[in-house]
Amino acid sequence: MSDKTRSPRQITELLIAWSDGRREAGDDLMPLVYGELRVLASRYLRREPAGRRLQPTELVHEAYMRLVDQRRVQWRNRAHFYGIAAQIMRRILVDHARAHAAGKRGSGWEHIPLVEDQMPSGGDDVDIVALDEALARLAMVDAQQARIVELRYFGGLTIDEVAEVARISPATVVREWTVAKAWLRAELLS
């Protein structure tokens, strides 16, 4: 059962208790969020080409281990948790792509397909390292747009979930998402 069928309030209460130092809350949280983290990981990884070496379970386990190490985070709610999880998954995936490319000794980067609805480029293959670098440049221009792309692309969050995490209206998310996709498309094609 995914956490979406459970009470977001229950997850939020566990996150707050975990932030307050109650270790057992973190133990109780894992079974509630694992399924949704795995869905996010699978959603992202199915966009990678055949032969990828990273599996959804590996990504979830690595992300969860890093989430557990987030001792200074004061969790606000489940959307905040998944927003941080999106950032962590992005770092893991970029590190994996860089390590894989380095292992190939210059034979090229691993490419991932981008889908128009959730991705900044309309269906073209984009290497994840180039996307990460473009996202870093976008963050210097507009941090909010970069965060929206990160949450949508790496976190797989819906417009409403991004709005909740970013504490902005869904209409603002749609507007900023549209602009960010256009900016990244131009950046990645140049």
**pLDDT per residue as tens digits for the range 44-83:** 776 665 555 678 888 888 988 888 777 677 888 888 888 8
Range of the structural domain that residue 81 is part of? 3-189
Locate all alpha helices (DSSP H) within the chain, ordered by sequence: 8-19, 23-45, 56-68, 78-103, 128-141, 143-149, 159-166, 170-189
φ, ψ for residue 110 (rounded to 5)? -75, 135
For the segment 86-109, the average pLDDT, to the nearest whole number, is 71
3-state DSSP assignment of residue 85? helix
Query: In the prediction, which pLDDT does 123 show?
Result: 41
What does pTM read for this prediction?
A: 0.69
Closest C-alpha to 127, from 103, 98, 85, 87: 98
- Mean pLDDT score of the chain, rounded to an integer? 79
Query: Which amino acid makes up residue 85?
Result: A
What's residue 77's pLDDT?
83
DSSP state of 164: H
Helices then strands, counting H and E runs in the chain, come out as: 8, 2
Q: State the residue for tokens 């991932």.
A: 112
| Structural domain count, the chain | 1
